[in-house]
Structure 1
Amino acid sequence: MTRIKGTFVAIVTPFDKNEALDAGALRRQVERQIGAGNGIFCAGTNGEFYALSFAEKVEVARICVEAAAGRQPVLAHIGEISTHQTIALGREVQKLGVKAVSAITPSFIACSQDELIDHYRKVADALSVPVYLYNIPARTGNTIAPETARILADHPNIIGIKDSAGSQESLDGFLEIARARDDFDVLVGPDSLILHGLKNGAAGNISGLGNVSPVTLNAISTAFEAGDLAAAEAAQTRFSALRKDLYAFGFPPALVKRALRHAMPEVGASRAPVLISAEVDAQVAAISAANAEATA
């Protein structure tokens, strides 16, 4: 299959005042990201997958695919705690026209590497859509070891990994695997490591912070691909500074959504129990005013 490359945004899931999914607002966010040249990653961490029902996850994917209308690829997150439910969600989502799916490691259950290998093989065997591993140990408690990724890379339906461990060391371990073969790619999760990943063979990135500043995000990879390393470095520096300022206040997905909400109120608040104090909200509003970007 054609390799999936480029910049993707882990798009927020808008809610109305009753915390119900706002389909119209979601469509407008998809349009905004496409205007910046970014692909869509839906129902991920920044899409509050942990707060969405099974049916809502399917509906979010459906809306995103329809709104994108083939102009940019749509990737969807399908990770659940059990292998059974991950497969069930994947089977529904793959009917919708997504380009690929990703699945975090099971959470709550402390998994051995053998259990992770079995989990991902079963998921990949059960689905016709390509599968990305998704490493985010700070949230799941389970880490995909590089050797585990190397073993899973041999599966014909596992095409790469989204690494959101947050460290260069973790990212470099997976990049080493990807450089040695042409059928396994790395998508960078940490917003501060996008350019580092591109320099070392990453196929692209999936960014939560791109909800706030989609143009700056896209400029990192666009400049890099054009050979303008100075411009790429400048965009990465701006993006990393925004990350540092915003994430200093707590749970990154909630802060990203709150910053976006100050610029575009229709995306709504994060679902409870997330709360942001008035003091933090005022500082997030200032950051949003300085960094939020509209697109054509």
Structure 2
Amino acid sequence: MAKEAFVALVTCFSDNEEIDYAATRAQVRRQVEAGNNIMCAGTNGDFSALTFEEKVKLTGAVVDEVAGRARVIVNAGMPATFETLKLAREFDRIGVDGIAVITPFFIQATQDGLVRHFSTVADAVKTPVYLYDIPARTQNHIEPATAKALAAHGNIAGIKDSGGAQETLEAYLGVGREVPGFAVYSGPDHLVHWSLQNGAAGCISGLGNVMPKVLAGIIAAFNAGDEAEAARQQAIFGAFRKDLYALGYPPALVKRALFLMDPSVGASRQPALLPDPAQDEKIRAILAAYGLT
């Protein structure tokens, strides 16, 4: 089966912090034209700063703009199962290709609690559900044994691993080999090519917002059997990641880098970091070094 890339799409904001739907649609078109699929309302989409109503409207706009030309996954995860369930039902109604559910945050959950959380959502919708693990942000981690237990659920289709640890990704990939139909998507941008070589269904990338063609190039080369070209594109992607993320919090830097390329994307909602002229100059220098200005 061909591998696929999703970009964890930024949400564009106007100067008064309202969602700029026209600018967001433009980013959707840019990604689809590059050959990437879309994940909306994820970490790079400022999901934690969006209201319930905004997430529903945003997802509707993204699905409308994609118009069947690419696949769309949307994140429904919230701290409580109750609101996660309400969001998932709305996304099910709109019609997306997958519903990602980030682990609960703020609320400390046991592994049994995570099984109940994800199973309750998966029971309630027809759209395939994807587990979403990012323990550095949520403080809750889906253990590989828990992922395997959840993989037996008829409507849990896979997992996005954004933990950053190759060991954990290897364990999830092991679950994918044991449970037919359980797709593993890599989140760490430095492991895209490696994860494809080791059985991942694809990746869900934040950095792809800035380098959509390089990300698509890794996938296209791998699918064509051109390992050398996939490795070359991955080397560019990985080096850019290392340079950019050395400056601070990755999602904020992705958004800022994209803003310096295209101001229509706007800034993130407060209390995200305010623009820093000195940092902007460093970002501009990195963009210039990779031919992105």
Question: Shorter-chain TM-score: what band?
Answer: over 0.9
2: CA distance, partners of 1:27 / 1:5: 25
Aligned 8 A contact 1:42 1:76 in 2 = yes
Deviation at 1:179, TM superposition (A): 1.3
**AA of the residue aligned to 2:134:** I
Q: State the 4+ residue runs in structure 1 displaced beyond 6 angstroms.
A: none
Once the two structures are TM-superposed, the CA of residue 96 in structure 1 deviates from its matched residue by 1.3
How far apart, CA to CA, are the structure 2 residues paired with 1:270 and 1:113? 33
SS at structure 1 position matched to 2:247: coil
Q: 2:40 is matched with which residue: 39, 42, 57?
A: 42
Residues in 1 aligned to 2:78 and 2:290: alpha-carbon distance in whole angstroms: 33
Amino acid in structure 2 at the alignment position of 1:99: D
Q: How far does the alpha carbon of each residue in 1:226-272 deviate from its partner, in whole angstroms, 9 at most, with x for none?
A: 11111111111100011111111111111001000111110001111
Distance 1:285 1:138 in 2: 28
Match of 1:51 among 31, 49, 52: 49
1:101 corresponds to which of 99, 102, 113 = 99
* Matched length: 292
- RMSD over equivalenced CA pairs, Å: 1.4
More displaced stretch, 278-287 vs 251-260 = 278-287
Q: How do 1:6-155 and structure 2 match up within 5 A?
A: 6-155=4-153
What SS does the corresponding residue of 1:101 show, helix, strand or coil?
Answer: strand
Q: Is the 8 A contact 1:16 1:268 kept in 2?
A: yes
Of residues 211, 232, 236 in structure 2, which corresponds to 1:213?
Answer: 211
- Structure 2 stretches lacking a partner, 5+ long: none
Compute the displacement of 1:208 (Å). Answer: 0.3
- What SS does the corresponding residue of 2:70 show, helix, strand or coil? coil
Q: What is the TM-score with the length of structure 2 in the denominator?
A: 0.97
Answer yes or no: is the 8 Å Cα contact 2:2–2:223 preserved in 1.
Answer: no
Which residue identity lines up with residue 4 of structure 2 in the other structure?
Answer: G
> What is the rounded CA distance, in whole Å, between the counterparts of 1:289 and 1:269 in structure 2?
21
Which amino acid in 2 is paired with 1:163? Answer: D
CA positional deviation for 1:149: 0.2
Contact 2:11 2:24 in 1 (8 A): yes
Q: Which residue pairs with 1:289 in the alignment?
A: 288
User: Which letter does structure 2 place at the counterpart of 1:252?
Assistant: P
Distance in structure 2 (CA, Å) of the matches to 1:23 and 1:287: 28
Whole-Å separation in 2 of the counterparts to 1:51 and 1:115: 25
- Paired with 2:291 and 2:8, the residues of 1 have a C-alpha distance of 16
1:157 Cα shift? 0.4
Cα gap change, 1:292 to 1:81, in 2 (>3 Å)? farther
Residues 75-117 of structure 1: CA deviation (Å, up to 9, x unaligned):
1010000000000011111111210110111001111111111
